[in-house]
Chain A
Amino acid sequence: MKHDPVDVLIIGAGASGAAVAWSLADTKMHILCLDQGGWMNPSEYPSTGRDWEAKFYGDWSTSPNIRGRPEDYPVNDDNSPIKVVNFNGVGGSTVMYTAHWPRLHPSDFKVKTLDGVADDWPIDYDALTPFFEENDRIMGVSGLSGDPLSPLTHPPMPPQPLGLSGPLIGKAMNKLGWHWWPSDTTVATMDYEGRARCINLGHCTPACAQGAKASTDITYWPHAIRAGVELKTHCRVREILTNKDGMASGVVYYDKDGVEQFQPAEVVIIACNGVGTPRLLLNSVSGRFPNGLANSSGLVGKNLMFHPYAQIYGFVKEPTDSNRAPPTCLWSKEFYDTDLSRGFVRGYGIQFGRGAGPVFEAVASEQKGILPWGADHHRVFRKLNGHRLAVSAICEDLPEEHNRVTLDPVLKDSHGIPAPKIDYTISENSRKMMEHGLARGREILETAGATDICINDPIPWGGWHLLGTARMGTDPARSVVNEWGRSHDVKNLFIVDGSVFVTSGGVNPTSTIQAIALYVADQMKQRLANLFD
């Protein structure tokens, strides 16, 4: 079935799709967004039930392969030590994230110039500054301005309390003379724009029943829809079609009943994340684009960057916040910048964990062999439960073409669309960085008095950050989109998600992803008269 054409078609209603939809709404163009998932129902979120922890291992797993909701697509990540995690639905992975909210540093945009590795971005931090600020206001950020080792931010809400865990970490970091700071988060610490303040449900990652954690279904989307943007749910796009002029003509998708539809569009914007976007482009083959759409560089799907997480945790005598607080509250940038004496280039941020709930503690500790079977189980569990502190080094992954997303020749989703296949190895540089992070983490934990120290190296289900697979650049031979997000090959096709990252930095990327989406939308609005030139 063919529909009336729209001016702008956005694929994906997550972090970047919502932001670009909201920003373009003031053009009064006819904007339609298609998402493969549906609207969320907070009354069904895990923290509303007594089995809240058990759900994390099944219906509310961060892994689409474990979760297996109808909205999910499978991912073949057998050939990767880091497994892809995401969420599919209105809000995308902002429904299922920790709300930790650092942004890339100015130096992250100039890694070739400063450190001689990878490539510089074609844009700099200053170009994104107004969009970081606007995004922080709309998402609703809490934090403390003035961090001496981070870019200056102006969070509209005060920081989360330090609680019980924060001072234990702070004292240890002060003894070591190392930087720490309360993290910016998208957890509302006061009533904000229709969102209720955080009441410390603790189980932030698999969705916030209180609505205190910002996800785009409750931040951007209500504004965008009021401004006239149309959002159709349970519509999974199979491919983007092109016309005889080599322009995108629209998309083929399956509607909620599984019926194939064609939606024509003047402009197509992809916002499907660093795995979903290359999957869609590689599946959009034609005579003119035999290697996939927008892929004359051959770089679609290549240069996948994950952020390997090196996590170390231990148990202190004092009680920690356990599951009675948002899981992250502090960061450190002590080892963020390059110091070649450490044996690697670039660096990592640290995010600290406040603790865990009883089921998670029991399961994790039994697997690590520190919680025994038998009579001593009870004594040991009482020593561990409610006493965990965690340190995670979020390591900057540099782009390498052999780390890539391709189409799996066998595995398909429920509509018969080829699933993405991940081939990824942790580089020698990242490995050294992880070892450094674990060693420093051990020092922090031991200074805090922790024992029974365990590591996750890497966190296996830690592929939250999906970056680099349709990189931005000025050279069409070395990049997929230009410096304002437009495909070099298809002049009415734009990409606004983490695929466009040139390098990954050492911080969680969602703030920067959304700032880029707002920046691209702004560039489009400034160029409406000659958008396709």
Chain B
Amino acid sequence: MSAANELTSAQRDDLRTVAAMIIPASDEYKVPGADDPAIQADMLATLGRDTALVTQALDHLARLAGQPLAELDSARRDAVAIEFRATGGAAAATLVRVVLQCYYRDDRVLRSLGLELRAPFPKGYALEQGDWSLLDPVKARPSTLRHAR
């Protein structure tokens, strides 16, 4: 069963709302928010082993909010978010990590950061040699390796 089916409709709504609170869309940086449909779909499709903790986190969030998160006014929503992060433990940390790991692999986000849209392998990356003359003062140091006798 996919995570999309394991989360209730209310939980998916709260996940979308809290994701947007963590990372809202930005016109300045030309990036979507973490509530973007494609990013949300990635989260639900890849929850996998994190499903139980994310569900636990969403249950905690629902208890704190008392109603759908999106229906709270912004001040109350912010207060719930602060309480959620402070008291949610490993479950809250997992939910936040899931949001971040899906957001920061989205093509639009990576493009905005100037990063290439690919896996590291097989192309790899170039690494400049750097200034090896910086090592000259260290080379000039006498050996002070401590003797064993």
| Number of interface residues, chain A, beta carbon within 8 A | 67
Band of interface residues on B: 35 or more
Query: With a CB–CB cut-off of 8 A, which chain A residues contact B96?
Result: 363, 366
A428 interface hit (Cβ, 8 Å): no
Most B-side CB within 10 Å, residue of A114, A366, A367, A375 = A366
B143 interface hit (Cβ, 8 Å): yes
A161-B130 CB under 8 A given contacts A181-B135, A202-B120: yes
User: Within the complex, what minimum Cβ distance (angstroms) separates B56 from chain A?
Assistant: 16
Say yes or no: B145 contacts A150, CB within 8 Å.
yes
Say yes or no: A337 contacts B127, CB within 8 Å.
no
Q: How many A-B residue pairs have CB under 8 A?
A: 167
Among the stretches A101-109, A414-422, A430-438, the one at the interface with B is A101-109
A377 interface hit (Cβ, 8 Å): yes
Say yes or no: B22 contacts A373, CB within 8 Å.
yes
B131 interface hit (Cβ, 8 Å): yes
Query: With a CB–CB cut-off of 8 A, which chain B residues contact A382?
Result: 29, 113
Alpha-carbon gap, A60 to B8, bound state (A) = 29
Contact indicator per residue, chain B 67-102, by CB within 8 Å of chain A (1) or not (0): 000000000000001000100000001001100111
Say yes or no: B121 contacts A201, CB within 8 Å.
yes
- A53, A148, A164: the one contacting B105 at CB < 8 Å is A53
Among the stretches A269-277, A284-292, A319-327, the one at the interface with B is A319-327
Say yes or no: A148 contacts B141, CB within 8 Å.
yes
Query: With a CB–CB cut-off of 8 A, which chain B residues contact A358?
Result: 104, 110, 113, 115
A531 interface hit (Cβ, 8 Å): no
- A151, A164, A210: the one contacting B124 at CB < 8 Å is A210
Among the stretches A23-31, A165-173, A306-314, A490-498, the one at the interface with B is A165-173
Contact indicator per residue, chain B 5-37, by CB within 8 Å of chain A (1) or not (0): 000000000000000011110101101000000
Mostly, the A contact residues are loop
User: Within the complex, what minimum Cβ distance (angstroms) separates A405 from chain B?
Assistant: 25
- B26, B50, B138: the one contacting A58 at CB < 8 Å is B50
Query: With a CB–CB cut-off of 8 A, which chain B residues contact A375?
Result: 24, 26
A199-B125 CB under 8 A given contacts A52-B119, A166-B130, A174-B134: yes
Among the stretches A42-50, A227-235, A507-515, the one at the interface with B is A42-50
Say yes or no: B146 contacts A114, CB within 8 Å.
yes
Alpha-carbon gap, A362 to B34, bound state (A) = 13
Query: With a CB–CB cut-off of 8 A, which chain B residues contact A325?
Result: 125, 127
Say yes or no: B101 contacts A53, CB within 8 Å.
yes
A105-B130 CB under 8 A given contacts A181-B138, A210-B121: no
Say yes or no: A171 contacts B134, CB within 8 Å.
yes
Say yes or no: B132 contacts A57, CB within 8 Å.
no
User: Within the complex, what minimum Cβ distance (angstroms) separates A363 from chain B?
Assistant: 5
Alpha-carbon gap, A85 to B142, bound state (A) = 38
Query: With a CB–CB cut-off of 8 A, which chain B residues contact A359?
Result: 100-101, 104-105
Alpha-carbon gap, A146 to B142, bound state (A) = 11
Query: With a CB–CB cut-off of 8 A, which chain A residues contact B93?
Result: 367
Say yes or no: B141 contacts A114, CB within 8 Å.
no
B148 interface hit (Cβ, 8 Å): yes
Alpha-carbon gap, A527 to B110, bound state (A) = 61
Query: With a CB–CB cut-off of 8 A, which chain A residues contact B119?
Result: 47-50, 52
Query: With a CB–CB cut-off of 8 A, which chain A residues contact B138?
Result: 148, 173-174, 179-181
Alpha-carbon gap, A138 to B125, bound state (A) = 26
Say yes or no: B100 contacts A362, CB within 8 Å.
yes
Top 6 A-B residue pairs of the complex, sorted by shortest distance between their CB atoms: A162-B130, A199-B124, A324-B125, A106-B148, A170-B134, A201-B120
Chain A interface (Cβ within 8 Å of chain B)? 45, 47-54, 57-58, 105-107, 109-110, 113-114, 124-125, 146, 148-151, 160-164, 166-167, 170-171, 173-174, 179-182, 198-203, 209-210, 321, 323-325, 336-337, 358-359, 362-363, 366-367, 373-375, 377-378, 382, 385
Can you give 22 A-B contacts (C-beta < 8 A)?
A45-B121, A48-B121, A57-B101, A106-B145, A107-B147, A146-B139, A148-B141, A148-B142, A162-B131, A162-B134, A164-B130, A167-B134, A201-B125, A209-B121, A336-B146, A337-B146, A362-B104, A363-B97, A367-B93, A373-B85, A377-B22, A378-B31
Further pairs besides A52-B120, A366-B100, A382-B29: 16, Cβ < 8 Å = A49-B119, A58-B49, A107-B146, A125-B148, A148-B144, A149-B143, A149-B145, A161-B127, A163-B130, A164-B128, A167-B131, A171-B134, A199-B122, A201-B124, A359-B101, A362-B104
